Structure 1
Amino acid sequence: MLANTGSRYGPTAPLAGLGPVLDRAEPFAVIAKPCDLGALHAYAASDPRVDDLCVARLALVCGGQPRLEKSADVLAEVGVDEDEVSLFRYRGHGNPGPTRVETTDGRSFERTYLEMWEDEAGWKVETRCKFCPHALGEAADIAAADVWPGGAPTGDDEGFNGIIVRTPTGEALVRSAVEAGALVLGRPIDPREFDELQPHQVRKKEALASRFAGLAEAGIPTINTTGLRVDLLGRRLNPEARLAEQAGTLRRATEGRFTEPLPASPTDRPNDHA
């Protein structure tokens, strides 16, 4: 597990092996994106083995899952083909540390965190992420977050992170980590300070109700957000901002920007020999 730790700013499917893990009937923990833990929580309603066996659910506070296009753009910028890559590290060797590409012939290239992520319009996150009510790890026992004033680093720091402890299970896990010397706690952070540390999360959560209204107006199904305060927080936007979010979502939906072709199975493809 330690060998595979580290940030991954691209598509992941951490629940892909859930079935075999449940079949082993042994205790396990899940470290995943907030949306994955939301799915796990929903699945637990139909499979009691999840709650019986899952001893901890840990998440990052997520700004969205970038498409692979973002990583491909980095390779194109430095003139490296995918099959030449021996290492693609998104963060690390510092906090946040650089994005680093190494090649099989010994070349290396780096981009700073701000070069990669300062412009939110260039994050290239999946459409689903723009409608995510779980981004703060609301189904997790513990969610870990970057804690940069204003939401972005000014350089490398000493590796501080914020944690949101949401459940008694999370409290017990933090307490045991502190007692074992694996975790050193700093000062408390209250929710309103987190607003300043994760401002894009505030903006998105306040916009969700209007975005869902735009989807509904376009005839696209939305999701159940019971208990996630979406309508309550949506009322914090002024009427002009709510209308702008709804109209923008409707326009994008009408333009087909929220849909993509379904993958075709071999039997659906045209017969070249017909």
Structure 2
Amino acid sequence: MNACWEKGDPAPTKRLDAEGLSKRVKIRLTQCYNYVNVYQTDFLRRCGTFRRGGEVGRKIINVGDIAAWRGCLGCGACAFVCRKGAVSLVDVLDEGIRPLVDRAKCDGCGECVRACPGYKTAHETETPSAATIRELGMSWGPILEVWEGHADDDCIRYYGSSGGVASMLALYCIEKGGMEAILHTGSDNARPWKSATLHSRERDEVLCRAGSRYAPASPCEGLGAPAAGKKPWVFVGKPCDIGGVRNVCKVRPELSVNIGCCISLFCAGTPSTRGTLGLLERFEVGPEQVQELRFRGRGWPGHAGIRRKGHADFTHNLSYEECWAYLQQFRPYRCHLCPDGTGELADIACGDPWCREPNPGELGRSLVLVRTERGREIVRGALRKGYVHLKRQPPHLLVDSQPNLYRKRCSVWGRCAAFRLCGLPTPQFRGFSLASNWRRLSMREQARSIFGTLRRIATRGYLRPLTYVPGAIESHMMPGIERTVGIKIANINNKDTVTRKAEWLKIGNSNTPR
């Protein structure tokens, strides 16, 4: 298990004493041990040798291999960075947006792999700056300041997910900060139940696109617009999207000049399109009937709403709690291996201050984390110009507001250790202090993070890769689903490979403003 420790972290001092574990845990330990002994030899024979210490369980040639081993986060960075045009993006119904690689075009240069945040996410330095808040560094990344407040524009505050500060800071950057446009995610005009990568330059565009979208999105595929721009752009996305931008800037250093600011939203995982379609099905609404679909907004914590074509108002509404309780079931397991829920690589990160109880009719408030000097400059400028109303807060407000993200981060080391134990590819993280955070868990929680993951590996067929094979079968499941692909998956109860069908939609090129 030494190979599972993160470089720079001391070895765990707690030991799992089998005699001290509950009977249930000991039974699971025995089952997992027997399972690994039976299957690991066959797995390594088929996949070849694997390298230890966070490396991969087979040779990774391109992002197709990363997606096959369920490591893809769906940010779209690979589609932008590929010079040969070998990578296209598809929306796999049960997984999310994933790359399809044309092997005939791919020359194995490895640029797509280096740009992939699902393969590797790293802080620029593992030594925190003296200006950062020391007590938050190990579990929350570099933070200079913690603020709480809301947008000055009541409409953006109302339609935003939690106070509208992220939207207003982005708007400040283009109206007063000399930046050209915002690259972010919004509703697809042609298929409102899906997300699209969009460019916003006006206040009205920012307003109509405010609010979170709990559905697959790949904003990094649109980095061609900032790359060709004459002035810097604002990038708004999930933590993994920000990681994609930072990785792309290492592969294409010239892009760094045109990314003026990165604003991240807090994230607990991205549900697949299966969740969106299931939400529509609950209301007996077909995708072709949808005029507008909002996942949050209209107050805090907000409501999900569906507006049918031909209707002026939302015809179906669901509370935020009910909506997220349903959609979170459709998060791919790669999201559970992500330690960054608060945008640690961004300049500014915004999320919900869940330490406060929402009041009926409340417009909402945002928790704002300033992570870089550039971010501090933007927040202070927006305050001076009256774009936002913010109040400085003590560091513990973040800890009190996001306990679930904290527990998830603490569990990631154990989950990755389980993958390594089975010889499976695992993401590479640098600067996240995973082992140190894992040691903060109780012994019971530590055991659950490892053995629970081993159980999922065994029951969900994770020992064998997925293979996306384009097919020409027309889908009749519901209108709006255009094509299907066969996905080869492992049946752990049978050595034969079985094939299931999963619907996918070709993702349009978003490098042109919509």
Cross-structure match for 1:208? 412
1:46 deviation in Å? 2.0
Matched, 1:256 2:460: yes
Cross-structure match for 1:184? 389
What aligned pairs does 1:158-237 form with structure 2 within 5 A after superposition? 158-190=363-395, 192-237=396-441
The amino acid of 2:249's aligned partner reads A
Find the partner of 1:74 among 279, 282, 285. Answer: 279
Cross-structure match for 2:348? 142
The amino acid of 1:110's aligned partner reads N
The amino acid of 1:54's aligned partner reads I
User: Quick check: which has more Rg, 1 or 2?
Assistant: 2
The amino acid of 1:235's aligned partner reads R
Find the partner of 1:85 among 277, 290, 294. Answer: 290
Cross-structure match for 2:316? 109
| Separation of aligned partners in 2, 1:110 and 1:230 | 39
RMSD between superposed Cα atoms in Å = 2.4
Q: State the TM-score, normalized to the length of structure 2.
A: 0.49
| Separation of aligned partners in 2, 1:121 and 1:9 | 8
The 10-residue stretch of structure 1 (46-55 or 20-29) with the greater mean CA deviation from structure 2: 20-29
The 10-residue stretch of structure 1 (208-217 or 92-101) with the greater mean CA deviation from structure 2: 92-101
1:50 deviation in Å? 2.7
| Separation of aligned partners in 2, 1:44 and 1:120 | 36
* 2:411–2:449 contact (8 Å) kept in structure 1: yes
The amino acid of 1:43's aligned partner reads V
Give the SS at the match of 1:30: strand
1:105 deviation in Å? 4.2
| Separation of aligned partners in 2, 1:144 and 1:45 | 25
Q: State the TM-score, normalized to the length of structure 1.
A: 0.89
Query: After the TM superposition, which segments of 4 or more aligned residues of structure 1 sit over 6 Å from their partners?
Result: none
* 1:218–1:254 contact (8 Å) kept in structure 2: no
Find the partner of 1:27 among 229, 232, 240. Answer: 232
1:113 deviation in Å? 1.0
1:236 deviation in Å? 0.4
| Separation of aligned partners in 2, 1:187 and 1:236 | 28
Residues 3-27 of structure 1, C-alpha deviation per residue, up to 9 Å, x if partnerless? 3232101100011111343134542
1:248 deviation in Å? 1.1
Segments of 5+ residues of structure 1 without an aligned counterpart are: 270-274
1:163 deviation in Å? 0.4
Find the partner of 1:130 among 324, 332, 336. Answer: 336
What aligned pairs does 1:10-49 form with structure 2 within 5 A after superposition? 10-24=215-229, 26-49=231-254
The 10-residue stretch of structure 1 (126-135 or 16-25) with the greater mean CA deviation from structure 2: 16-25
Question: How many aligned residue pairs are there?
Answer: 266
The amino acid of 2:346's aligned partner reads A
The amino acid of 1:69's aligned partner reads R
Residues 158-187 of structure 1, C-alpha deviation per residue, up to 9 Å, x if partnerless? 311100000000000001101110011124
1:61 deviation in Å? 0.9
Residues 230-273 of structure 1, C-alpha deviation per residue, up to 9 Å, x if partnerless? 1111110122321221111112112235577322146998xxxx
Cross-structure match for 1:242? 446
Segments of 5+ residues of structure 2 without an aligned counterpart are: 1-199, 201-205, 473-484, 487-514
Cross-structure match for 1:272? none
What aligned pairs does 1:261-272 form with structure 2 within 5 A after superposition? 261-265=466-470
| Separation of aligned partners in 2, 1:257 and 1:204 | 23
Give the SS at the match of 1:16: helix
Give the SS at the match of 2:445: helix
Relative to structure 1, the CA distance from residue 121 to residue 29 in structure 2 (aligned partners, 3 Å threshold; closer, same or farther) is closer
The amino acid of 1:76's aligned partner reads E
Residues 62-98 of structure 1, C-alpha deviation per residue, up to 9 Å, x if partnerless? 1111112222222111111111111111112212221
* 2:237–2:264 contact (8 Å) kept in structure 1: yes
| Separation of aligned partners in 1, 2:448 and 2:399 | 22
1:115 deviation in Å? 1.6
| Separation of aligned partners in 1, 2:267 and 2:328 | 16
| Separation of aligned partners in 2, 1:120 and 1:248 | 22
* 1:59–1:137 contact (8 Å) kept in structure 2: yes
Which has the larger share of strand? 2
Which has the larger share of helix? 1
The percent of aligned pairs where both chains have the same amino acid is 28
Give the SS at the match of 2:467: coil
